[in-house]
Every structure is written in structure tokens, then in C-alpha cells.
Amino acid sequence: MSDDNVLSPRDPWFRRAVGITAGIFVLTALGGFIVLPYAQPELKVSGLWDAICSAAGVVRTSSAQAPVQPDPKLTKVVITSALPATPAPDAIGRGATLAQQCAICHGPTGVSRADSPNLAGQYAASIYKQLADFKNGARVNAIMSPFAANLSERDMQDLAAYYAYLPRLPGYHPQQSQPAPKIVINGAPMRGVAPCGSCHGALDNKTGSPWLEGQPAAYVKAQLQAFASGERRNDISQQMRNIARRMTPEEIDQAAEWYASQPPTLIHTN
């Protein structure tokens, strides 16, 4: 028998081989392009063509595909030099009443006896922003989130006014005076890191940025690490995340320890 006869369509073995090959191809195509896409629970397909395009790696333009939504858990507070506005005469007194619920963590005079932030003399805009972020979910904490959820707009403004009115006191963990580290005074220009002191005290203050001098070192360090990892994301325009992720662990420790060891001057703000 010649090779021409073997490859002839008249040969029964040739017809069987072609039929089996074609059948395997069809079954494979059905399984890979149709069955498997429908079998994936996380993949939403609106039809046969949508499933085939998905399996082939083609970008689907089906109208049934939901558009990507932006993350709603970002700060909605717009910081201006007038935020919050000058408090009403009774705002501080009302804020003092509301602050009784805060004393267990932040101290009866706004000075923490633990590792919670000191609020006495803190900028009103900073306190208001953090309360608003806790309320809308841009910042999450097991204690603060439930507390802020029930605060009204006036409650947040009055609390901010009250704590801003209190005199700044030395932090609970003051250490011996020591030279400011470079990350606080000079930053790290080659890595695009601005000096901490240019926004948070020691050099200058940026509206909306908290005063850090005298804050517990553990708290400052934890917040820098949270910004660096992306766990905390309520900074405006990702400013703190961009800075913190470029800081070394040693610089984070140095900044936290230095701010804790520098009790601010006793001043009265109103």
C-alpha cells in the first residue's frame, strides 16, 4: 500500500483520525472558552461571546460589565485656613461636656496617660478632620469609629474648639533633650522626603497637619508605619503615604522618639 492511499480521504483510518482530532479540538475549545469561564464564580459574564472574549484574554466592552468604582473610603474634608470657623461662645463649653466621653483615652485635660494622642492645644482643623474621617470611614479604629459615628457636625466642631482651647502640656513620655534628627529638620531631599518639622512643628505648621511635639512615641511610630503600609489612607493627596513609605525604619524611630522627647511650650490657644 502506498503513502498516497494512506492519506487519501477514501481511507477509513484517515477519516477516523481526522474525525477524532477534530472532535478533541471542539471539546477543548468548548471547555476552555465556554465551560471554564462560566465555572469561575468571581468572573461575571453576560453571554457566550463575553465568555469567549474573557477566555481569549481580550478586553471586554460589554455594557453589562460594571465600571471600576473609585474607593469611597478617602477623606472628604477640604482643609482651609478658616476650618473650622471661629467657635460660638458656647461651643467650648459644649465641647467640654462632650469630651468627658474621651477622657478615658485622651485624659481629663486632653493629655493622655497611655499611648493615645494628646489633644490639649491641638489645632482645631486637625481634630475636626480626624473626627470627620472616623465618621465617614476614611480612617478606621476599633474605639474611635463607633464613637465618631454618632457625632453631628456641630459635635465635631465643638470638640475641636474645646481641645484647641486647652493649653498644650508636656507629653506623658518626655525624654532628655537631644538634637533634632535630620529627618525632622532637613528631611531626605534625595528621596523626596520633606522635613517633618515643616508641617508638624519645630519649623512650621501646615494647615490641617497635627502638632506632634509631646505626642507619645508609640503613637507617632504606629501612624507612620500605617501610612507606609497603606493601612491608613486618610491623608490628603497621599502626602503622608508618599513620605512615610520612603522613610527608613531608623528614621521613623528617630522622628517618633524626638517628638515624644520634646514637650511643647505651655501656650494657650483659642
pTM: 0.68
pLDDT band at 50 (very low <50, low <70, confident <90, very high): low
pLDDT in tens, 115-136: 999 999 999 999 999 999 999 9
Query: Helix H segments across 2-142?
Result: 3-6, 12-30, 36-39, 48-56, 91-98, 103-106, 124-136
* For residue 68, pLDDT beyond 50: no
Mean pLDDT over 72-82 rounds to 68
Answer whether residue 70 is part of any domain: no
Residue range 194-250, pLDDT digits in tens: 999 999 977 777 878 999 988 999 999 999 999 999 999 999 889 999 999 999 999
Q: Does residue 81 belong to any structural domain of this protein?
A: no
Mean pLDDT for 2-21 is 70
Domain at 187, CATH number: 1.10.760.10
Burial of 209 (0-12, 13-18, 19+ CB in 10 A): buried
- Pull the grid cell for residue 175: 525624654
34 lies in the same domain as 152: no
Phi-psi region of 137 (alpha: psi -120 to 50; beta: other; left: phi over 0): left
| Whole-number Å distance between alpha carbons of 251 and 186 | 12
Query: Domain span at residue 161?
Result: 91-260
